[in-house]
Amino acid sequence: MSTHTAGTQPTEAPTAAAPVQERPLLSVAMVTLGCARNDVDSEELAGRLEAGGFRLVEDAEDADTVVVNTCGFVEAAKKDSVDALLAAADLKTEHGGKAQAVVAVGCLAERYGKDLAESLPEADAVLGFDDYPDIAERLRGILAGESHQAHTPSDRRLLLPITPVERSLSTAAVPGHASGPASVRRRLESGPTASLKLASGCDRRCSFCAIPSFRGSFVSRRPTDVLEEARWLAGQGVKELFLVSENSTSYGKDLGDIRLLETLLPELAAVEGVERVRVSYLQPAETRPGLVETIASTPGVVPYFDLSFQHASATVLRRMRRFGDPESFLGLLEQVRALAPEAGVRSNVIVGFPGETEEDLQVLCDFLVAARMDVTGVFGYSDEDGTEAAGFDDKLDEDEVRARAEHVTSLVEQLTSERAEERIGELVEVLVESVEDDEVVGRAALQGPEVDGTTLLDGLDDTTVAVGDLVRAEVVATDGIDLIARPLS
Question: Amino acid identity of 392?
Answer: F
Start-to-end CA distance of the chain, whole Å, equals 71
Backbone angles phi, psi at 62, to 5 degrees: -100, 5
Q: 344-369 burial, b for 16+ CB within 10 Å, e for fewer? A: bbbbbbbbbbbbbeeebbebbbebbe
Give the neighbor-by-neighbor strand order of the sheet with 375-380: 304-306, 344-351, 375-380
Question: What's the angle, vertex CA 222, arms to CA 217 and CA 224, rounded to 5?
Answer: 165
Euclidean distance between CA atoms 322 and 32, whole angstroms: 30
Q: Give the HSE-up count for residue 186: Cα atoms under 13 Å, Cβ half-sphere.
A: 18
Single out the residue of 132, 134, 245, 259 nearest to residue 199, CA to CA: 245
Strands (E), 182-332: 193-197, 199-200, 219-220, 240-244, 276-279, 304-306
Q: CA separation (Å) from 406 to 350, 372, 419? A: 12, 19, 20
- Is 365 marked within a binding site? no
Residue ranges of the alpha helices (H) in 93-154? Answer: 107-119, 135-143
- Is 35 marked within a binding site? yes
Give the distance between the most distant pair of CA atoms in the chain. 88
**DSSP track, 33-85:** -S-HHHHHHHHHHHHHHHHTTPEE-S-GGG-SEEEEEE--SSHHHHHHHHHHH
Q: Could you count the other beta carbons within 10 Å of the beta carbon of residue 185?
A: 27
Q: Would you call 22 exposed, middle or buried from its count of C-beta atoms within 10 A (0-12, 13-18, 19+)?
A: exposed
Residues written for the chain? 489
Question: Amino acid identity of 319?
Answer: R
Strands (E), 228-307: 240-244, 276-279, 304-306
Q: Could you count the other beta carbons within 10 Å of the beta carbon of residue 300?
A: 15
Residue set of the binding site for [4Fe-4S] cluster: 35, 71, 107, 202, 206, 209
List, as residue ranges, the binding site: 35, 71, 107, 202, 206, 209
